[in-house]
């Protein structure tokens, strides 16, 4: 398995610390609202990563937190508490809000075939662990008390920006909403470990601590919850790219100061889903949810396929136009698979060859789009239907697109369509290869050949689509 590691900014061979188990940690949702389909892009791609690791034979233990306290509307410790904002909006208690949106999150995950992590831990379960870690950070001189709050002192580290480049402007891209200055901080990048005095007198969730009644900062929860379940050495940590700074940068600072050694080896970050006005975010108000897609008649798995057709390290722009074309392709693909006849003997040798090829493709920094192309290759392979079905089912352990659950529709046009589609897809691939080799004459002649048949190609950021005139 090769994976792009944000820490080294290189694609690297994945080598877990122990042969026995891969420790994988995922930043979970802040449960003050529904997850939008942008958040879910991150969880879909992290799900594929986990399943690919399992497919390659690794025994994965995956842990996820649920942020139900401490996440303020700016990631840099300012603004309103998100949970409180949700409770006010709906006239409910914070705990009611947390329960409702945690359930909604897992219901969305189920619809998208996202496996629930082995351990899911809400932050409010771990207050004693947070207090323990903060106390040690104070004892070791990495933290200080100011204005009643406890802060992490980033100047005490030799290298604070291990994960991100030291470029303020670039870093602030990840920081959401307003950024007011906190006069208690000794250094601009210091962050809160424990709030006692804050501007939220109405903070509903408060706990006793050696520093007074208060509540934890957001970053400490992931350092604590991950080490509680996965120990002091972590293989793999995931999140969306907005988590790189400050959240993951601060997690590294706390954990490495606490343990006194390097903590996590691989950092996996999923690029954002954008809409026309930019990054999709919960604070913007008008965001897309799985329920909304369902109301519009889409099978949520079509959205999963939409995500898998693009590389996780590229921004992805959502459009109904592209989603419609994915939905049509998905329907045809499942129809073709449903028509396969499962009688006959499976060619296990061929299946093993395909499995190896799939690992080379998808295990190469999660090239999921080529993984889907391999399904089409299997359909064209020179073997019997039972073998094809066996291989596709096997690939679907990773892709999780319900590829073999479709029903046969005896629509003759479907088979004509699928031949046509196969031809177009082949031509699109050939053209992409030609363009990559800078053979623009061939690329143009393929475009012209298709245009002569009334098939017009359109190059979008998500790849090439087509329209039949």
Give me the residues that bind Zn ion (CB under 5 A), please. 27, 222
Binding site partner of 222, from Zn ion, ligand AMP, none, Cβ cut-off 5-8 A by kind: Zn ion
Q: Where are the beta strands (DSSP E) in 9-117?
A: 10-13, 22-26, 60-66
The binder of ligand AMP chosen from 1, 3, 22, 27 (CB under 6 A): 27
Q: Select 36 or 247, whichever has its Cβ closest to Zn ion.
A: 247
Binding site partner of 242, from ligand AMP, Zn ion, none, Cβ cut-off 5-8 A by kind: ligand AMP
Q: Cα separation of 72 and 434, whole Å? A: 49
Binding site partner of 41, from Zn ion, ligand AMP, none, Cβ cut-off 5-8 A by kind: ligand AMP
3-state SS assignment for residue 316: strand
- The answer to the question of residue 104 lying near ligand AMP (CB under 6 A) is no
Q: Select 267 or 354, whichever has its Cβ closest to Zn ion.
A: 267
- The answer to the question of residue 16 lying near ligand AMP (CB under 6 A) is no
Binding site partner of 272, from ligand AMP, Zn ion, none, Cβ cut-off 5-8 A by kind: ligand AMP
Per-residue tokens: 131: 């207090």
Q: Select 319 or 373, whichever has its Cβ closest to ligand AMP.
A: 319
For residue 268, CA distances in Å to 144, 276, 432 come to 31, 26, 27
- The answer to the question of residue 246 lying near ligand AMP (CB under 6 A) is no
Q: What are the respective helix, strand and coil percentages of the chain, to the nearest 5?
A: 45, 15, 35
| Nearest-10 crossing angle of helices 300-308, 368-380 | 100
Quick check: 69 and 83 in contact, CB under 8 A? Answer: yes
Quick check: 189 and 180 in contact, CB under 8 A? Answer: no
Q: Cα separation of 96 and 289, whole Å? A: 20
Interface mask toward ligand AMP for 205-244; x: CB under 6 A: ----------------------------------xx-xx-
Q: Select 153 or 242, whichever has its Cβ closest to ligand AMP.
A: 242
- The answer to the question of residue 250 lying near ligand AMP (CB under 6 A) is no
Residue 437 CB, shortest distance to Zn ion, in Å, is 42
Q: Cα separation of 136 and 129, whole Å? A: 11
Residue 448 CB, shortest distance to ligand AMP, in Å, is 37
Q: Where are the alpha helices (DSSP H) in 190-299?
A: 218-230, 249-259, 290-295
The binder of ligand AMP chosen from 3, 6, 16, 29 (CB under 6 A): 29
Binding site partner of 280, from ligand AMP, Zn ion, none, Cβ cut-off 5-8 A by kind: ligand AMP
Q: Select 43 or 354, whichever has its Cβ closest to ligand AMP.
A: 43
The binder of ligand AMP chosen from 74, 102, 125, 281 (CB under 6 A): 281
Q: Cα separation of 235 and 350, whole Å? A: 33
Quick check: 388 and 379 in contact, CB under 8 A? Answer: yes
Q: Give yes or no for a cis peptide into 246 (omega within 30° of 0).
A: yes
Q: Select 154 or 254, whichever has its Cβ closest to Zn ion.
A: 254
Q: Select 244 or 401, whichever has its Cβ closest to Zn ion.
A: 244
Q: Where are the beta strands (DSSP E) in 103-214?
A: 119-122, 143-146, 149-152, 191-195
CA 434, 436, 442: angle at the middle one, nearest 5? Answer: 20
Using CB positions, name the residue nearest to ligand AMP: 240
Number of residues that bind ligand AMP (CB under 6 A): 19
Q: Which among 131, 154, 135, 151 is positioned nearest to 143, based on CA atoms?
A: 151
- The answer to the question of residue 38 lying near ligand AMP (CB under 6 A) is yes
The binder of ligand AMP chosen from 123, 273, 307, 350 (CB under 6 A): 273
Q: Which residues bind ligand AMP (CB under 6 A)?
A: 27, 29-30, 38-39, 41-42, 67, 239-240, 242-243, 270, 272-273, 279-282
């Amino acid at each position: 398995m090769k994976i792009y590691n944000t820490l080294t900014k290189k694609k690297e061979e994945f080598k877990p610390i122990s042969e026995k188990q891969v420790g994988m940690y995922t930043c979970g949702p802040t449960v003050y609202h529904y997850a939008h389909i942008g958040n879910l892009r991150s969880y879909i791609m992290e799900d594929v990563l986990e399943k690919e690791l399992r497919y390659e034979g690794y025994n994965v233990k995956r842990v996820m937190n649920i942020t139900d306290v401490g996440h303020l509307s700016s990631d840099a410790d300012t603004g309103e508490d998100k949970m409180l904002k949700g409770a006010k909006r709906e006239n409910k208690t914070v705990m009611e809000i947390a329960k409702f949106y945690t359930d909604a999150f897992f219901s969305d995950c189920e619809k998208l075939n996202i496996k629930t992590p082995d351990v899911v831990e809400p932050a409010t379960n771990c207050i004693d662990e947070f207090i323990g870690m903060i106390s040690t950070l104070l004892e070791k001189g990495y933290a200080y008390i100011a204005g009643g709050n406890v802060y992490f002192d980033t100047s005490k580290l030799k290298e604070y920006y291990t994960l991100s480049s030291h470029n303020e402007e670039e870093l602030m891209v990840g920081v959401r909403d307003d950024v007011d200055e906190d006069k208690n901080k000794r250094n601009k990048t210091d962050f809160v470990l424990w709030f006692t005095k804050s501007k939220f007198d109405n903070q509903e969730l408060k706990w006793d601590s050696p520093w007074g009644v208060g509540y934890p900062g957001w970053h400490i929860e992931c350092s604590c919850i991950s080490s509680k379940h996965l120990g002091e050495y972590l293989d793999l940590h995931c999140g969306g790219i907005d988590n790189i700074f400050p959240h993951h940068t601060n997690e590294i600072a706390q954990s490495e100061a606490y343990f006194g050694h390097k903590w996590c080896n691989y950092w996996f970050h999923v690029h954002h889903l954008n809409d026309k006005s930019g990054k999709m975010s919960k604070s913007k108000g008008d965001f897309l949810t799985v329920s909304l897609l369902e109301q519009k008649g889409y099978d949520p798995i079509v959205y999963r396929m939409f995500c898998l057709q693009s590389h996780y390290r590229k921004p992805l722009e959502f459009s109904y136009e592209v989603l419609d074309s994915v939905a049509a392709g998905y329907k045809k693909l499942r129809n073709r698979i449903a028509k396969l006849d499962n009688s006959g003997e499976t060619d296990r040798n061929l299946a093993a060859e395909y499995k190896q090829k799939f690992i080379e493709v998808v295990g190469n920094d999660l090239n999921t789009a080529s993984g889907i192309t391999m399904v089409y290759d299997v359909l064209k392979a020179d073997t019997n239907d039972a073998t094809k079905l066996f291989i596709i089912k096997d690939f679907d352990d990773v892709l999780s697109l319900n590829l073999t659950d479709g029903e046969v529709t005896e629509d003759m046009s479907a088979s004509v369509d699928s031949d046509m589609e196969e031809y177009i897809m082949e031509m699109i691939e050939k053209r992409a290869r030609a363009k990559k080799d800078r053979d623009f004459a061939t690329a143009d002649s393929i475009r012209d050949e298709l245009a002569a048949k009334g098939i017009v190609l359109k190059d979008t950021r998500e790849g090439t689509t087509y329209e039949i005139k």
